[in-house]
Structure 1
Amino acid sequence: MPDFTIRYAKKSELDRVNEIRYQVNRVHSNGRPDIFRDDFCDEMKNIVYKVFDGENSDVIVAVNGDTICGFATVEYIAKEKSPYGLQREFYQICEFGVDENFRRMGVATKLISFCKQEAENRGFDRLELDVWEFNEGAMRFYDSVGFKTYREYKEMDI
């Protein structure tokens, strides 16, 4: 089994991260073509550069040798107290993906472990993400590494 290193991305690696993001985009556009665009437009490509440059966000990569084989984009969220909820802070995984050629090799588990440790190092006590129900493999994976569902969105066609 290959050995993977997890670390913060370098700006020069973001084009490769976008290649994996495009694979993830296809999963979504195939799973819900009524919601997700099937192209990977420049606006979509540029998101990862904004995350990289953001003050409260980062891009994390999984590397095997010289090959980026997985990634996560994360944000550090501070929500103010509102009429509906208490003030809270959490570490959010916004995007997450593993190259199709490196799946089922432990990359995703190592990425989640890194995120969990980094969240703890930054003083967060909660890691959050969202996942689409059609993505059954991702749902099973997140459950297997300890995520719990605390909210669901429902829809009804009319």
Structure 2
Amino acid sequence: MIKIRTASSDDAPVLASLNGIVHELHAGHRPDLFIGSPEQDVLEAFFVARLTDPSVTAFIAESTDGRTLGYAQARVVSWDSSALVRSDLVILLDQIAVVPDASGMGVGSALLEAVREVGREAGCRRLVTEVWDFNEGARAFYDTAGFRRMNVRLDQLL
């Protein structure tokens, strides 16, 4: 069984550690954008700062014996309208990671549902996230979870 709990700033060391699961993949594919090995104290301070933001919620997934299985971090964001687009209230999934030996056990789905519930309670209309093109595992996870492509971000070195 998987237990999902809301993270607090006391969980910053755990979140910083879990972040390494995805960060290593990102740094390996895009070393021009991602720091190879972020300092643990800097990462912890990052998570403490994020968790003091009232728009941010983080969750930690644990097994019944208390083993940490993954985390998710999301924030409620209000998008302003313009002459071309409607305003919107969305929940942005900024980060999600599952420990490799818990992959396929429903941890990611449970974390995603916790994020959806925060969005529903906040009155959000949609859950939005981004995924790097090289992250085939995440793309497959989001496809299975019912996400659809909204846009594609491109970059070019100058």
2:12 counterpart of 1:36? no
Runs of 4+ residues deviating >4 angstroms: none
SS of the residue corresponding to residue 132 of structure 2 reads: coil
State how many pairs are aligned: 156
* Structure 2, gaps ≥5 residues long: none
Rounded Cα–Cα distance in structure 2 between residues aligned with 1:45 and 1:11? 9
Rounded Cα–Cα distance in structure 2 between residues aligned with 1:147 and 1:46? 31
Rounded Cα–Cα distance in structure 2 between residues aligned with 1:86 and 1:62? 35
2:112 counterpart of 1:122? no
* Structure 1, gaps ≥5 residues long: none
Equivalent residues of 1:70, 1:99 under 8 A apart: yes
Indicate the residue corresponding to 1:81 in structure 2: 81
Residues 126-135 or 31-40, more deviating: 31-40
Indicate the residue corresponding to 1:105 in structure 2: 105
2:143 counterpart of 1:143? yes
Given residue 106 of structure 2, which amino acid in structure 1 is its aligned partner? G
Cα RMSD (Å) of the superposition? Answer: 1.7
Equivalent residues of 2:71, 2:98 under 8 A apart: yes
Residues 64-73 or 39-48, more deviating: 39-48
SS of the residue corresponding to residue 137 of structure 2 reads: helix
- Render the CA deviation track for 1:92-118: whole Å, top value 9, x for unaligned: 111111122322211001111221122
Indicate the residue corresponding to 1:8 in structure 2: 6
Equivalent residues of 2:12, 2:48 under 8 A apart: yes
Identity of aligned residues (%): 22
Equivalent residues of 1:17, 1:68 under 8 A apart: no
Indicate the residue corresponding to 2:46 in structure 1: 47
How far the C-alpha of 1:16 sits from its partner, in A, is 1.2
How far the C-alpha of 1:157 sits from its partner, in A, is 5.1
Equivalent residues of 1:75, 1:94 under 8 A apart: yes
